Structure 1
């Protein structure tokens, strides 16, 4: 079981967003946060381009690999590969409601098959056993699917999977609708019921329970810590990434920040060595800067920052000087006090 403090703050796995470039940026903002990969199907891990699918920079640790799938043997093989690749946790997706995921019989529809999830977790745990470095197997789930509104059924799902060797659950605290709602609507329409996650933690204190879903600001995130082991942020972390820095400074004492907020510009400039190394490898600047666009969200000059990067990063030869130009323009909108905030 990981150190409880390492579970306090995490960034959700998000398709097309939480790639390695994104995670390196988030690590600079929040050195104590637990980061998650995009979901990767077990078959892709086994048969696909691992250099691309499992790309990870050493600075990202602790970082989890999220797997999709529903065949225990394949999930076990993929989990072992992920652990040997260096991931610190293997997470099974039991929450994604997309049509493509449902067609493959994985994601949120697994909430209706607790025995299959338990078999999968047991196989994954066994596959990761005996490694020199312990790698926990965890589950990210919903409260239920469609019109499942029975807390006892939810708890029975958790108990069944926990008995198979899972001690950490990330609970997206709303149902998933398998028909009639898009993935975006599934993140917004079904009502949030954080009280189910709170109750689960009270009734199963030996489990680590993290809450996810609809957490929009620092006050909301902090309030969850009174009831659960941690808060996982999704779109708020991506669209307003400075929030991660605020939470890391507020929740974790000691280095590297020692309780002092860094300015957005200072944090971003710390990314320069990574960006220049990636450019030398042939990575286009746009693949990195697309994750930076929200850094000045809500700040004067934030729109100018986004505009400079969005319009220039795709051009041939775009390099770090474009980022400096965006920063200089943005900082010109603010006085010295604002630049330090």
Structure 2
């Protein structure tokens, strides 16, 4: 279980689930896995990031992904494509990456910033299932819906949320969980992951009646609807674990930018009732990037064993991971927090 601090002061019941700290711990393990991969295959895991257009928020998120990839030893390559690109041209670029044996993971930065009409779902479905490290391909989503969670790519934000819940010491099995939001990127797969972790799950959405009454039953609440401070304190079951996937700008004249970021949960109220809560920023966001890196490394191993040397058996006893053999990149948690420590969270429907 992770060390913790209370939200604002000890008079608050809720302890903060520090996504920066949890992701740092996972990254330290990923550094070792990357080193093993390099020793075995004499290759570096490569992540290709496709960006259409030049949205400023996307630029910020991509810089975070590039920086985190460098920290663990992954070679992340950004392919910037013009805003006027056609769907056919975008698919052609994806096809080239699919067929490049040196590329182990492919992500398409969303939303697609194009002046032309592009079917996002169709484009995502053209990414090779062997390289779909965002976990958004219909095949990987379908596997999850059938309870297959090994040797497939799990969606990064939901999987990060599961890690955050478990970091509190909570045993998910038998708990009553509520997910607010049903998007294919966060809410839907979040519910599936909770189900396959043996929780009893209710999904609320824009047509759900009496949402507060449903939320009051939740031992675990995941808010992923994209509405600032939607969840109020009197909705929360005392002692519940609250995971806030929202990241919403609201006006704030005291900030140089003129706005501040808040989640889908009113943290001032909810922290007085919940036992654990994720902050915004610095909660779910760092875990989304961390799970992307984990998927890339896992995918590199699976891809290598499938295509590079089908007859090779990995003997980890031959890999030297002792002493100074691993080139450790010092992870600066203070710097991460100073820079906001958060990244892209897709809002749900």
Using the size of structure 2 for normalisation, the TM-score is: 0.29
The one of the two structures with greater contact order (alpha-carbon pairs below 8 A, sep at least 6) is 2
Larger fraction in helix: 1
Using the size of structure 1 for normalisation, the TM-score is: 0.29
